[in-house]
Amino acid sequence: MVRTASADNFDLWGPLFYDFWFSQHPEDTWDHLDLDQRERLLATTIPHTYHEVNSLLVALESSTATTDLNALADHMKNPLLSAGGHIILSASPGRGSREPLTNLANLLQRRCAFSLSTLSIGGHIAPITHPEHFIDHVLPHLVLPASQSSSRR
């Protein structure tokens, strides 16, 4: 995706982005979207997603990924972070994102003691498309510091 955006090849960016984040089945392709849907997706993902994807690429290509992960693991041992880290996976991730997101979740669980849950509905943008389900899912995972929870009683 980064190479296609860097080359201003947005004819290739759209299909790659759609397949990665939204496509559920091989027959669910960019070509099946109408022109308005394609234009909206391109207009709302570029340049923001380019910078997001590029930052991941830079992190993976640099020597800081392990250092950053170790720093996060140490940070998560802080007793002030009683809630810990939590990663939420979508119920229907895009075909391209399933494996990387699952691997990231497993890594954060193993190395940084994150907890993991999966939404019951929705895809990559479930917090936007299904806000009521997202809020109901997230609330039980939020923990107030002891001083705040006792003052609310």
pLDDT tens-place string over residues 127-138: 888 999 999 998
pLDDT of residue 17: 85
Which H or E run includes 60? Answer: helix 48-61
Residue whose token pair is 């995972």: 141
Residue among 100, 87, 86, 88 nearest 21 (CA): 100
Going by the DSSP 8-state scheme, the letter that residue 62 receives in this structure is S
What confidence tier does 151 reach under pLDDT thresholds 50, 70, 90? very low
Return d(Cα 62, Cα 54) in angstroms, integer: 12
**In the predicted model, what is the mean pLDDT of residues 136-147?**
72
pLDDT digits (tens, 9 = 90+) for 5-45: 667 666 788 888 888 888 888 888 999 999 999 988 888 87
The conformational region for residue 84 under phi > 0 = left, psi -120 to 50 = alpha, else beta, is left
**Per-residue pLDDT reduced to its tens digit, 52-91:** 777 777 777 777 888 888 888 988 888 776 667 889 999 9
Backbone dihedral angles phi then psi of residue 136, each to the nearest 5 degrees? -60, -35
